[in-house]
Amino acid sequence: MLLFVLLALGHATQGLPNVDDVTIPPWVTTTTEASRSLGPVDLDVQLPRSIKPLHYVVKLQPFINGNFSIVGYMEVDMEVLKPTSNITLHISDIITKNDTVKTEASRSLGPVDLDVQLPRSIKPLHYVVKLQPFINGNFSIVGYMEVEMEVLEPTSNITLHISDIITKNDTVKVSDQATSRGLRIKKHEYDHSRHFYIAHLRKELQKGKRYILSMEFLGYLNNKLHGFYRATYKDVYGNIRNAAATQFQPTAARKAFPCFDEPALKATFEIHLARESWMTTLSNMPIAETVPVEGQEGWMWDRYEKSVPMSTYLVAFVVSDYVHINSTENDRVDFRAGRDQVAEPLVRQLVGHDFEQRVLVVC
């Protein structure tokens, strides 16, 4: 599909200019030849159906207090439906300036022409996401994602959203949930304009069955305040402290992990966050367990409980060195503040007399 823009500058007057670069309309004659009317039956007045207009820009300067002429400009954005070498428009009582007529390929197809929705042949049911962000290092993220899917219509493709992520293609696996039998992937495809990763399978996924796709990937903690991003603050001694947080709304979960990043495609989530032992993490659900990262001394995994079904933009997590206390009024409410003495007076005021018993520093 190719769009063109036609630019035409023209004017209409009461008389015909004596110039060579204008189109003389068919109703203007230079002889006294008798009219040869074909009649309405013989004349096809319909325009060709090879092109359709999308948008017009029209500029007119009428000299209503002068010679009643009109200086005009017209621009039309068109979509080509069938290959053609002609562009046909209607004109009447108008003289075109032929040296101003231009056609050019549209520089922007616009959001209407780019279908960014995921195919509706698959829906996600449950994610397992494991992330190890190096917020005190090179800001890279080592990740693992596993998603359980239900097939709504037979398909040989699995399409996910990714952005600013590098997939490890040799780790991508698709398996039948019931039998654990693997399916072969014949090609990996990336559509950068739509933020798509597409796994092309050798065999078709069957309607009604459930499958699991898993992969390892690399990401990056950006400094743009969206996706999974890094931030800094100064402690009481003026030292710079690093933290990482998320802002996924409306469509930035794809910057943290491969996913079906559309609000309607709700699923449950099990989040695993790796952190250095003196830091803490937060996510949507309570922590289920904390275990050491195998082979990496000084690192811990925080595994969070399975979430309720929700959209990807509602998933949230934080990695920081904040202290953690519970509210005396409601033990489900946590207060977190920077690990320094500046926060202590506020925390004491919030928590009350049992400050020493209720402050929990995770280290």
Identify the pLDDT of residue 106.
Answer: 57
Helix, coil or strand: residue 113: helix
Identify the pLDDT of residue 177.
Answer: 95
In order of 125, 143, 155, 244, the CA distances from 146 in angstroms are: 11, 10, 19, 22
Q: Provide the b/e sequence for 45-78 (b: ≥16 CB within 10 Å).
A: eeeeeebeeeeeeeeeeeeeeeeeeeebbbebbb
The whole-angstrom separation of Cα 121 and Cα 136 is 41
Give the whole-number percent of the chain exceeding pLDDT 90: 62
Q: Decide: 161 and 254 in contact? Cβ < 8 Å.
A: yes
320 Cα distance to chain centroid: 27
pLDDT tens, residue by residue, 113-169: 678 899 999 999 999 999 999 999 999 999 999 999 999 999 999 999 999 999 999
* Cα angle, residue 283 at apex, residues 172 and 247 outer, rounded to 5°: 80
pLDDT tens, residue by residue, 235-279: 888 899 999 999 999 999 999 999 999 999 999 999 999 999 999
Q: Decide: 241 and 338 in contact? Cβ < 8 Å.
A: yes
Q: Give helix then strand counts, H and E, for the chain.
A: 3, 24
Question: pLDDT category, 30, cuts 50, 70, 90?
Answer: very low
Bridge partners of 148?
126, 212
pLDDT at 354 over 70: no
The whole-angstrom separation of Cα 93 and Cα 47 is 18
Q: Which domains does the chain show, CATH number per domain? A: 3-113 (no CATH), 122-321 (2.60.40.1730), 323-363 (no CATH)
Identify the pLDDT of residue 254.
Answer: 97
Q: What is the mean pLDDT of residues 17-23?
A: 45
Identify the pLDDT of residue 33.
Answer: 44
pLDDT tens, residue by residue, 272-331: 999 999 999 999 999 999 999 999 999 999 999 999 999 999 999 999 998 766 655 556
Helix, coil or strand: residue 350: helix
Bridge partners of 40?
none
Tokens of 40: 């309405």
